[in-house]
Amino acid sequence: MTSAQPVELDGSTLEGGGQLLRIAVGLSALISRPVSIHNIRASRTPPGLRYQHAAGLRLVAELCAAHLDGCETGSTTIDFVPQSLPVTSRAYTADPGTAGSIGLLLQVSLPCLLFSPSPGSPSTLLLRGGTNATHAPQIDYTQHVFLPFLRRHLGLDPTLEIVKRGYYPKGGGEVRVSIPAIPGPLPPVTLTERGKVKTVRGRSYVAGLPKSLADSMCAAATEVLVESGLGIQAAHIKIDSVREKPADAVGSGSGIVLWAETEDGCIFGGSALGRKGVDPVHVGREAGRELVSNLAHGGCVDEYMQDQMIIFLALAKGHSTVKTGPLTLHTRTAIWVAEQVTEAKFRVQASESGAVIECDGIGYVRPDLAMAA
């Protein structure tokens, strides 16, 4: 058992949601430093852990043989005492039993498995729940924006297969992820030049609903992009309009996910979920406007990658510099947690139009190699 003093965290700090929890326990597992978190999701209704949060905590606890107290639905306090990361590659499963986000289950577990001392085959995750959930990254964003960022800028190569889509309220989606382990440390990230948008890709989808809804979302998003004033031509836009086969999805749902790539290799996302009683044209425009907003500020990452990259910058060796749009509350929270749990140091130069995030990372290496050194 680790003898380090636990880090005490107020879970209501800044954004005060599940992200604070995910980053804290992910870093705790890696550096073998206990964390105690209270006031979890204190301002949410209802407060405390939901099924998805508890499933993620149990998964990370399994990954590092942690002693975990307070992991019940509704709990507002947890104590997480990690032991060690697994010494061989393994297959893991997590299932909240609801439509809770699969993308968020991956977020909390990925850093641990990347640094697992696994000289053989990659570790694998079978994650169940919602593939396209509210208040969370759609799995298409994870596949087409988040994972390409890890490959291009950090040399990581997890692969993701969507086995079955799962929609609210049933969930039931399945995603398989293969995660090759690395010795570490991660390289620093320098990302300050964006370039012009060269392509926009996307997926407009329905399950258990008429395909015409997907076509309407696609057309509306395309119109917004072409009229944005960002120089995006219709010829550079390719959005697939899809009606899911019944065997490939659980429940009914609809939505659209867009991703744009620039000449310098930056990727930005925008998305929207269909809702009962909401015109699909409105949904398509909503996704198009979100992508346009993420492109208009001149930064090199979108508002979601802005906070998702923080844990990796903290773990990297050396000085990272990333130009972003305006700093989000989620990003401020991610930085706060990373500095509380690790010795990483962040600096933010903010302006009305955007920010530059700098980080001196801790140069994390695989535990067995750190002991040998």
Residues involved in catalysis: 330
Rg (CA), the chain: 20
Euclidean distance between CA atoms 217 and 289, whole angstroms:
12
Name the residue among 341, 333, 366, 321 with its Cα closest to residue 117. 366
Residue 10 marked as a ligand binder: no
Is 308 annotated to bind a ligand? Reply is: yes
Smallest CA-to-CA distance from 138 within 291, 279, 28 is with 291
Distance CA 263, CA 95 (A): 39
Q: Residue 267 in contact with residue 261, Cβ under 8 Å?
A: yes
Cα–Cα distance between 30 and 272 in angstroms, integer?
Answer: 34
The sign of the torsion formed by the CA atoms of 189, 193, 198, 201 equals positive
CB-based contacts of 293, cutoff 8 Å, min separation 6: 270
Cβ pair 123, 157 in contact under 8 A: no
State yes or no: 307 annotated in a binding site: yes
Where would I find the beta strands (DSSP E) of 222-343? 237-243, 249-250, 253-262, 267-273, 317-324
Give the Cα separation of 301 and 323 in Å (integer): 7
Question: What residues have CB less than 8 Å from 13, skipping those under 6 apart?
Answer: 20, 333, 336
| One-letter identity of residue 37 | I
Burial class of residue 88 (count of CB atoms within 10 Å of its CB; 0-12, 13-18, 19+): exposed
Contact 117, 367 (CB under 8 A): yes
> Beta strand 159-166 with 173-179: parallel, antiparallel or unpaired?
antiparallel
Q: Which two tokens stand for residue 272?
A: 């929207």
Is 19 annotated to bind a ligand? Reply is no
Q: Annotated binding residues, as ranges?
A: 107, 304-308
Q: Annotated binding residues for ATP, as ranges?
A: 107, 304-308
